[in-house]
Structure 1
Amino acid sequence: MDRHTIDANFEAKLQAHAGIVRKVAGSYAWSPHDRDDLMQDIVAALWQAWPTYDINRPFSTWMYRVALNVAISNVRGETRRRRHHIAYDPDLHDCEASTQSHEDDEHLALLQRAMQSLDPMNRALLMLYLDERSHREIAEVLGISESNVGTKLTRLKDRLRTTLAAA
């Protein structure tokens, strides 16, 4: 297979599953600038890992795994650098009227705060669960057993219920 065909295959698969990159970046980076940077890092890592992709496995599973590894590494690095710094995000502080109701905004903000409080593994688990991935696929992406996925999901749901009920 020539270089042009390899590039076209990668680009086609990336375009078909671009939502995964946006979803992972949106779950691990809070400002638009950080999200853009993280998406670029994810795409670069996907391209670098492309030669190792096994065509006998689902591309989306492989893509999630690479994207989550990049995002989790990014979170760990950022946590060390910015222990107590919270960036101002003008998009979150826009005073213009929104098309969503105030109540929807409050629910979304509450969910975002709950997700931000999760460690990277639980955040990945929740994101994959909300994306309606099977226990088997979640296990494969996260590198844990299917039964461990079920156990972790049950504990995570209980924890989120308690957190959201207290808010």
Structure 2
Amino acid sequence: MNKQEQRHIFESIIEQHKGILFKVARTYCPDEADRQDLIQEMMIQIWQSVHKYNDQYKITTWLYRISLNVAISYYRKNSTRTKKFTDLNEQMMEIPVEDKSENEKQLNLLEQFISELKEIDKALMILYLEDKSHTEIAEILGMSISNVGTKVGRIKEKLKTRFAQLKS
């Protein structure tokens, strides 16, 4: 079997039976990122084994065998890492959470509003909040000093409006 035939068979198998891969991955990996990694590992193993497929067995049996073997190996390799993360998260949950002060809430909102700005506006506000002068900001961002002042003023108005909308 040449590479083109192998590729065609592989793509056909994956397209027709991808549900098997997703089902196995969902069973072994509750985390989406891990699940995607596991599916990729399964696909690599299927690609490497497609030329060995014996058609006396059902394709689904062969796919389950490969998928489950990969998933079990993957689970064993990652169970230690997952256990450490789980333990850490459980310990963190035991820490008493104090009510956030009003200032802290306002700062969190400000960070959120800034994160929603355009890229250049985010940069401007970060520098402005770092107490950089308009001259320094202009030099860093390659703008005129008057443009920095105008943009900072507009952004501050935009942020004030966002805070005012929350209060009403």
Structure 1 length as normaliser, TM-score?
A: 0.49
Structure 2 length as normaliser, TM-score?
A: 0.49
Greater Rg by CA: 2
Structure (1/2) with the larger helix percentage: 2
